[in-house]
Structure 1
Amino acid sequence: MRAASVIGQTHKSKSHTINTKRGLDYLLSQLRKVKSCGQDRFIACCPAHHDKNPSLAIRTNGGVILLKCFAGCSTFEIVSSIGMVLAELFPESNEFRKPLKNPFPAVDVLRCIKREVMIITVTAIRIVNGEKIEKSELDRLILACSLIEVAYD
């Protein structure tokens, strides 16, 4: 069998399987504001929605790339928005490794919801001080609470 490699893609003739494995390095290269949070742990802006601050947690676990958008985007939406497929998040080998019990440490979750906590705090202070809250601010407060609830789950 002859294999040709083009931009991280391997196509083997006489095979019905096409391997488009690009992996973690490719994924990270497609994201904005990538910040390392430890070994094989990152946060970045989610490419599936208009993200101004990092809300996407990325880590590897047993060779699998794990993604969690704390704004609620699905893994499919995230990988599709950068031209990847879900299969590229998994190792090529058939070897199964037991995943970690908690794939996203609490510190990663806290980093992603830090802005939402600040929005809630500022709005609460304004309410306590008797300031009028606009509908758009109330909507943003509700969104912040929802995002924290998603992070909790």
Structure 2
Amino acid sequence: MATKEKATLAQVAGENSHSNYTKHGIDYLLAQLHKVRQTGHGRWIGCCPSHNDKSPSLTIRDDDGVILLKCFAGCSAYEIVSAVGMEMSNLFPEQREYSKQNISKNPFPAADVLRCIQMEALIVAVTACNIVKDTSLSDKEKNRLLIAAARIGGAYV
């Protein structure tokens, strides 16, 4: 690889940025790839190192320290990181210590919570219809109703 091309890759990889250039991050990964170019904030495309790639088929995304990889030729993330001398653990930020301040009060997206509540509400509604019809509930149905009630109540917390 020509010196000029190496310098360009180093700049793309952020070697001159505030992040440290280690084997554990996006900077190192990008420096190992050919024909790398940035396609957006925290997004790149380049040639996949795990197969004979002539034109870029690998997309790379830095998602708040987590490195996401997608080879459109079908190579796995394991094959990709192994080809550049990295390990799967290098795709994830080092484990941070968490305190109550760091933990979100609502760790799940509202749409996911509502989807779950919708299913549990359906179970409650069907059970209520059976009770109105004077249909006796099996132990399994009673237990499922209690689970639905607990999940609906737990969604508030």
TM-score using structure 1 length: 0.48
TM-score using structure 2 length: 0.47
Structure 1 or 2: more helix by fraction: 2
Larger Rg computed on CA atoms: 2
Structure 1 or 2: more strand by fraction: 1
